[in-house]
Amino acid sequence: MTDKPAARPSRDLTSGPIASTLLVFALPVLGSNVLQSLNGSINAVWVGRYLGETALAATSNANLVLFLLLGTMFGIGMAATILVAQSVGARNLDEAKRIVGTSATFYFIVSLVFALGGWLWVDKILSLLATPPDAMPLARAYLLVIFAAVPAANLLGFVMTILRGAGDSRTPFFFMAFAVLLDIVLNPLLIAGIGPFPKMGIAGSAMATLIGQTVSVIAILVLLYRRKHPLRLAGPDLALLKPDPRLLRIIVAKGVPMGLQMIVISMAALVVMGLVNGYGSRVTAAYGITAQLWTYIQMPALAIGAAVSSMAAQNVGARRWDRIGRIAAAGVGFNLLLTGSLVVLLHLFDRPILGLFLANDSTAVDIAEHINNAASWSFILFGVTIVLFATVRATGAVLPPLIILIVSVLLIRTGFAYSLRDWLGQEALWWSFPAGSIASLALAAAYYRFGGWRTMHMIEEERPAAGEPPDTGLGVPRGRARLGEQAEG
């Protein structure tokens, strides 16, 4: 049985209703994000219950290393996703397969380098993080297994992002749920040695992650090959695993700035956390719990942003510029609705929710409630920024969002918190979040409206003639004149 040349690898995101398609696509992405966060929280409960506070400190230090590794790979994966989405939108499956082959090989090689480097320099890495001496042996035991899990975890993440770029968000959700379920179930069994399982202590928690990620990535690959997914590499297509230098340059050049966006946000968070620590353990505890809740508040915007990026990139590939603005508008609307609803609910029920974490300290609850009221609403604005960033990067415009984040988050937010704390005290820290969000939204909206992102295309050699004004979203975009060529791709 042979595949038809014009076969679509997944759902077509270039036609049909925009709002409902975007929502249906985004919901499984949101589900995956929630599952990952719940997985981390539940695993922390198992570690804390069986092994105590020192083990929790060890996993916190180790997970920081893992976050930095995943952040580095995030950008590469997003670049590959956008490239695949543009090729799928253009109905150029040959190009999409070349992208999959090049990026898969590069992704796996970099993952192996990270794993081997982590094994060799695990002690130096933990020392650089100033890991407490009593937590060092546990963190080392945990990280050695986690580094072994990096190739499988990265490969699973890569396959899921490629499928989303091709228009399929449901399959990644199911296999993420499978990996999370395995991880949660195996954690206590391997930590405590329940039943036939060996007692591995903290290494058992990491081993549960390794098994969950490995089994899930094998299962999803088996499914894709059994279903003869059009983007699978088989037979002569296996030669495409040899990296294409042209595509590799694009992936790295576009991926690194997107990865750096996560690093910038993390750096700003570390700076603010350092300032918060200066006000004592009670304020730190209140802020820490509030920040955990903010993670869930941001999930809808992140899911919608991922959906907007894939959908917009397919439409860029299909030259459906008439749909890009409506995709962005739908994304902004859903963000206002979903993120806004979560912010309102947290505002109405903040005391009972915060009390779950700070039940024995009413003063800390008061502080956390004040922090939440001052800053949580700003994540509605930042969610709009995420959607606008997702839209423009679908064309390959990745440097402007990075520059905007450096200015608004790293400079304005942290600068506001640091420079005004002598005048405003703690209030400078909490109001630094609205200050950064307002700045990022203003800059993102200005670039979305006036920037040259509409003239960009990551995989197309053709560019507008010099001096030709960019599409503004008004009138008939230039790409509309070539819509008839889609069928030829």
Q: What is the pLDDT along the chain (489 residues), one digit of tens a residue?
A: 334 444 445 567 888 899 999 999 999 999 998 888 888 778 777 877 777 766 766 676 666 677 767 766 788 888 888 999 999 888 889 999 999 999 999 988 988 998 898 888 888 877 776 666 777 888 888 888 988 988 898 899 899 999 998 889 999 999 999 999 999 999 999 998 998 889 998 889 889 999 999 999 999 999 999 999 999 888 898 998 998 999 899 998 888 898 888 888 878 887 887 788 777 767 777 787 788 788 889 899 999 999 999 999 999 888 888 899 999 999 999 999 999 999 999 888 888 887 776 665 577 788 888 888 899 999 999 999 999 999 999 988 889 999 999 999 989 999 998 888 888 888 899 999 999 999 999 999 999 999 888 887 666 543 333 333 333 333 333 333 333 333 333
pLDDT of residue 53: 65
Q: How far is CA 39 from CA 36, 143, 201, 208, 367, in A?
A: 5, 17, 18, 11, 28
Place of tokens 């606008």: 388
Dihedrals phi, psi of 14, to nearest 5 degrees: -100, 5
Tell which residue, 225, 216, 221, 223, has the closest CA to residue 178. Answer: 216
Q: How far is CA 22 from CA 264, 305, 319, 457, 483, in A?
A: 28, 10, 18, 22, 22
CA distance 313 to 89: 7
Place of tokens 């109405």: 348
What is the DSSP secondary structure assignment for residue 82, as one 8-state letter? H
CA distance 85 to 104: 15
Is-contact 332 381, C-beta < 8 A?
no
50 burial (CB, 10 Å; 0-12 / 13-18 / 19+) is middle
| The two structure tokens encoding residue 254 | 């576009």
| The two structure tokens encoding residue 56 | 């929790």
CA neighbours closer than 13 Å in the CB half-sphere of residue 18:
20
pLDDT of residue 351: 82
Distance of CA 387 to the CA centre of its chain: 13
Longest CA span, the chain? 73
| The two structure tokens encoding residue 455 | 């003239």
3-state secondary structure of 380: helix
CA distance 433 to 452: 28
pLDDT of residue 261: 87
Work out the angle at residue 438's Cα, subtended by the Cα atoms of residues 434 and 440, and round it to the nearest 5 degrees: 115
CA distance 373 to 433: 12
Tell which residue, 8, 25, 9, has the closest CA to residue 327. Answer: 25
> What is the phi-psi region of residue 375: left when phi exceeds 0, alpha when psi lies from -120 to 50, beta otherwise?
alpha
pLDDT of residue 482: 33
pLDDT of residue 383: 93
Is-contact 147 118, C-beta < 8 A?
yes
Is-contact 425 278, C-beta < 8 A?
no
Q: Count the neighbouring beta carbons within 10 Å of the beta carbon of residue 376.
A: 23
Is-contact 301 389, C-beta < 8 A?
no
pLDDT of residue 213: 93
pLDDT of residue 163: 93
Place of tokens 């890991």: 131
Chain segment 134-171, per-residue pLDDT in tens: 778 888 888 889 889 888 988 998 999 999 988 899 99
H-type alpha helices, 240-280: 245-277
pLDDT of residue 118: 84
